Structure 1
C-alpha cells in the first residue's frame, strides 16, 4: 500500500482534520482572497482522502470537507438574515448553519458514490472518474432546488490560464480542467514513481497549455465605436432604504448623481434604486430621463414593477428614456424574494421581515433595447447562472446587471459576486455593466477583466468606456451541454477499467 494512503488510513482523526481543512482552503481560492492554486490543491487532497475508503467513511470525509468549504465560503448569509432581515441572532445563525449543513451533503454523497460504485483503480479513477464526478455534482447543485452555483472550481480561474476554457465550455468546463489537474496530482501521489511523475507532469502541462492556447482566440468581434457609460452607486444603507422618506431621498440622490453623468450613452442605476413601484415615481423618473436623453443618453434603472391586471409584483430593470420597456427578473431568490412551501413555512414571515419578498417571476428572453443598443439583462443573483445569461445571445451587444449587495454588508459576498459576474463576460464574449447600491460597481471587459471599478461603501459615479460586441462564443452556442457531454464521456472512459479487487473484510479495494 502507498505510504501516504497507509498513514491517512491509520490515523482517522488526521484524515478528518485534513478534510475539514481542505474545504476551508478551497474557499480561500475565491475572491476576495483569490489564492487560485488552492482550487487545485484542495480537491486533490480530498481525492487522496477518499481513495480506497469504505462508502461510509468517504461520505463522512466529504461531509467534513463540505462543512469547511461552505462554512468558510457562504457564511455571509448570516449578515443578510440578521442585520437586514430582522431575524433574531440565534435564528439567523441556525438558518445559516442549516444551509451550510445541507450544502455539505453534496460532497458527502459524492464521496459515498465514488467509494461505492466508482472504478477504484489508481489511474482512471483518480485522474478521470473523480474529477468528472465532481463536475457533475457542481452542475447538479447549480439547478437542484432552484440552484446554488456558488464556489464552482472554474470560477476561481477567472484570472488563470484555465480561463481559456470558459468561452468554449463555460464555468463547468473550467471546473473540469481544474478537477482533472487535481486528479492528476492525487494520482501522482498514489502511484508514485519516476514514470508516473513524468506522465503526470506532462498531462498537467497539457491541460494548462491548452487553456493558454484557447485564451488567445478572439471569439467575438467589436461592433462599432466605444460607448461611454456611467454607473450610479447611491450607497444607501440597507437599514435606511425603506424609511418613511426613502423614496424622495433616493430620487434626489440619484437625480443629482445622474446630472454628473450627463453625456454618457447609458446611465445605469442599481437594483431597486428607488424603493417603490415604478408607476408611483414615473413622473419624476421621466423628468430625469428626459435630461439624460437631451444629452444623448439613455437611463436604465432597477426598480419594482406592479402589474395591475394580475396583481403581480416584479423585481425589474426598466429602460426609462423614450419608450419605456422592462425586463422582469425570472430567477427569484428563495426566502429573499419569495417563500417556498408557503403553507409549511409561513411562520418564517414573523422573523424574516424582508421588504418586497412576495414577488412573481418574469418570463421571456432577457433583452432590452436601450437607445438602439441591445443589452442582455440580469438582476442580481441571476448572473450566477451562465446557461440563463446566454439566452440573450446572439442579439445582445452588451450585458447589464443590477445588484444590491448591501444585503451582505462588509462580508466576502460582494467580492465573490463580482468574480461570478466576470465569468459571465468570459462565457459570452461581452462587456458587462454591473451597477450595485454599495459596490462593487464595475465595467467588465469581454475577457472578464475589470476595466473600471467603484470604491465600496462610497457614493460614486463610475464613468468609463465599454465596447459593443457581436458574434457567438462556443459556450454561447452550446451552453453547458458541451461540458456535460465531455464529462459523461470521461466517466464512460473510466468505466472501461477492469473491475477492482475487493477486500472482503472491509469492502475496500487494492490499488
Structure 2
C-alpha cells in the first residue's frame, strides 16, 4: 500500500507548483517521485499508480470547478463533490495511459526510458487531454515554470516544450537516484543554464509606432445577480459611467459578456455609445451575447467607435465569435440525454454555437487584436494560428466570477501569460472581477487590478516587431522529434526482442 499512498501524495502536492502558490520545484519532486514509483511495476499496476496520481492532481488542482457547480448548478453539495470526483477520474485516465504504455513496451533500459521515452509519452498524454472531447489543456505541467528560466523555451516550442523538458529533468533525477550516479544531474543543470542564457535573447523588438493608451474596466458585477432583469440597466450604467471617465484612452475595453443582454435588444444604447466614442476619438471593445436570425447563440466580442469603417449596426459578420466552447458551461455534449437529468446540465447560457476556428483580427482604432474569450486562451495552437503579420496585441476577455475566491482565476492568468511569452506579443486581459492585467511580450505582468474591486486599469503600451520560432512553426517540430524518438524506440525494442527469441 506504500506506493499507491505515495502516488496520491505526489499528485496532491503537484498543484502547489502553479499559481497562486508558484512553488515551482514541487512539480519536479512530484514527477520524479512518480517515475521512481513506476520502476519494475507491471503495466496494470503502473497504470493504477498513475491514475491515483492523476485523481489527486486534478482533484486538488481544479477544485475550483466545484465552486461553479455548487453555486450555480442547482444540485446538492454531495452531488457537486461527486461530479468533481468524476471529472478528476476522467482526467486521470490520461496519466494512467502514460504509465501503462511506458511499462508495457518500455520497461527495460532505465536511462533510455526515463530520459527519452517518458518525455515523449508525457507529451502525447497532455496532447490527448487537450484534444479529446474538445480538450481540457488545463494544468499542463509546463505552465508551472512561467517565472523560471525554463519559461524561455516557450518562444521556441511553446508550453509543450517546457513540459517535455520537465520530464527529461525529472527523469534524469529519478535515474540518478535509482542508479546512485550523480552524473545524470547534468541534464537539469544544462537545461536551467541554457534557459538562463535564452533570457537575454530577444526574439522580438519594441514597435514605437504602436504605442496605445488603454482603459480596462473591471465592473465587479455579482454573478448571482447579473442576469436578473432589474440588474440590467444598473450594470450597463455602471460600465457607461466608468467609460465616460476615461474617454482620453485610445481604447476602452469591457470584459466578457459585460452587457447583460443580447445585442439585438439594445440597438439604441449601442448606437449612442458608438456615436459618443467617435466624438471622443476613442474605441470601445466589449463582450456581448448574440442570437442569429436562425436562432443560434454566440458568445461574441463587439467593437465600436473611432477606427470602425461604419457607424454601429447589428451585423454579426463583424464580430468575433468564440470558437472553443466550455463543455457543460457553454454547450452540453449529448444534450438530449443529459439536459433532462439535472439542473446542472441546464445552466444559463449553455446552448452556444461555436464560431470559426480562424477569424479575422479585431481592428480597433488602428490596432489589431487576436482574440480569445475566457477558456480559449488555454488553446495555444488556436491563438497562434489566428495571429497575423498585422497583429499588435493578444486580447482575452473573461468572467471568472463563476469561480469565486478559488485558485481558478490565478491559474487562468498564468495560462494567459504563457501565450504572450510564446508569441512575443503583449497581452491584455479584462475580466469582470479579476484578474484584469496587462503583460509585456515576455509574459511579465506590467499592471494588474486587485480582485473583487470595481476599478479601471490605465496603461500605455507598445507592441512588438518580429516573430518567435513558436509563432513560425508552432510545436510541430517538437511533435515530429517525439514521433521520431518513439519510432526509433519501437524499432530498437523489436530488434532486441527478435534477438532474444533467437537465443531462446
TM-score in terms of structure 1 length: 0.91
**Aligned match for 1:346, one of 339, 343, 351:** 339
Supply the distance in 2 between the matched residues of 1:246 and 1:366 (Cα, whole angstroms): 33
Q: Partner residue of 1:461?
A: 456
Q: Partner residue of 1:65?
A: 53
Residue aligned with 1:455, SS: coil
Q: Partner residue of 1:428?
A: 423
- Decide whether the 8 Å contact of 1:86 with 1:353 is kept in 2: no
- Is residue 2:200 matched to residue 1:216? yes
Are the structure 2 counterparts of residues 449 and 374 from structure 1 closer, same or farther at C-alpha, using a change threshold of 3 Å? same
**Aligned match for 1:264, one of 249, 259, 268:** 249
Supply the distance in 2 between the matched residues of 1:320 and 1:492 (Cα, whole angstroms): 53
Deviates more, 1:86-95 or 1:52-61: 86-95
Supply the distance in 2 between the matched residues of 1:500 and 1:93 (Cα, whole angstroms): 49
Q: Give the CA deviation at 1:500.
A: 11
- Decide whether the 8 Å contact of 1:176 with 1:487 is kept in 2: no
Supply the distance in 2 between the matched residues of 1:220 and 1:106 (Cα, whole angstroms): 36
Q: Partner residue of 1:157?
A: 145
- Is residue 2:85 matched to residue 1:101? no
Q: Give the CA deviation at 1:341.
A: 0.9
Gaps of 5+ in 2: 313-317, 498-504
Q: In the TM superposition, what whole-angstrom CA distance separates every residue of 1:297-343 from its partner, at most 9, and x where no partner exists?
A: 210000001212x2211000110224353100011111111111122
Supply the distance in 2 between the matched residues of 1:239 and 1:162 (Cα, whole angstroms): 40
Supply the distance in 1 between the matched residues of 2:224 and 2:242 (Cα, whole angstroms): 21
Q: Partner residue of 1:55?
A: 43
Supply the distance in 1 between the matched residues of 2:343 and 2:409 (Cα, whole angstroms): 27
**Aligned match for 2:270, one of 278, 285, 288:** 285
Q: Give the CA deviation at 1:423.
A: 0.6
- Decide whether the 8 Å contact of 1:119 with 1:494 is kept in 2: no
Q: Give the CA deviation at 1:61.
A: 0.6
Q: Partner residue of 1:381?
A: 375
- Decide whether the 8 Å contact of 1:121 with 1:500 is kept in 2: no
Residue aligned with 1:240, SS: helix
- Decide whether the 8 Å contact of 2:290 with 2:297 is kept in 1: yes
Residue aligned with 2:281, SS: coil
- Decide whether the 8 Å contact of 1:221 with 1:470 is kept in 2: yes
- Decide whether the 8 Å contact of 1:263 with 1:292 is kept in 2: no
- Is residue 2:163 matched to residue 1:175? yes
What are the within-5 Å matches in structure 2 for residues 295-306 of structure 1?
Answer: 295-306=280-291
Q: Partner residue of 2:502?
A: none
Supply the distance in 1 between the matched residues of 2:206 and 2:268 (Cα, whole angstroms): 37
- Decide whether the 8 Å contact of 1:119 with 1:497 is kept in 2: no
Gaps of 5+ in 1: 1-12, 503-511
RMSD of aligned Cα (Å): 1.8
What are the within-5 Å matches in structure 2 for residues 484-503 of structure 1?
Answer: 484-492=479-487, 494-495=489-490
**Aligned match for 2:11, one of 8, 15, 23:** 23
Residue aligned with 2:319, SS: strand
Q: In the TM superposition, what whole-angstrom CA distance separates every residue of 1:80-122 from its partner, at most 9, and x where no partner exists?
A: 1110232332322221111011111111121111111125211
- Is residue 2:386 matched to residue 1:402? no
- Decide whether the 8 Å contact of 2:399 with 2:431 is kept in 1: yes
Residue aligned with 1:467, SS: strand
**Aligned match for 1:192, one of 170, 176, 180:** 180
Q: Partner residue of 1:10?
A: none
Q: Give the CA deviation at 1:263.
A: 1.0
Q: Give the CA deviation at 1:366.
A: 5.0
- Is residue 2:255 matched to residue 1:255? no
Residue aligned with 2:339, SS: helix
Supply the distance in 2 between the matched residues of 1:411 and 1:166 (Cα, whole angstroms): 27
Q: Give the CA deviation at 1:349.
A: 5.5
- Is residue 2:143 matched to residue 1:147? no
Supply the distance in 1 between the matched residues of 2:245 and 2:347 (Cα, whole angstroms): 32
- Decide whether the 8 Å contact of 1:368 with 1:374 is kept in 2: yes
Q: Give the CA deviation at 1:33.
A: 0.7
- Count of residues paired in the alignment: 485
Supply the distance in 2 between the matched residues of 1:500 and 1:97 (Cα, whole angstroms): 43
Supply the distance in 2 between the matched residues of 1:118 and 1:286 (Cα, whole angstroms): 64
Q: Give the CA deviation at 1:462.
A: 0.8
Q: Give the CA deviation at 1:384.
A: 0.2
Q: Give the CA deviation at 1:215.
A: 2.8
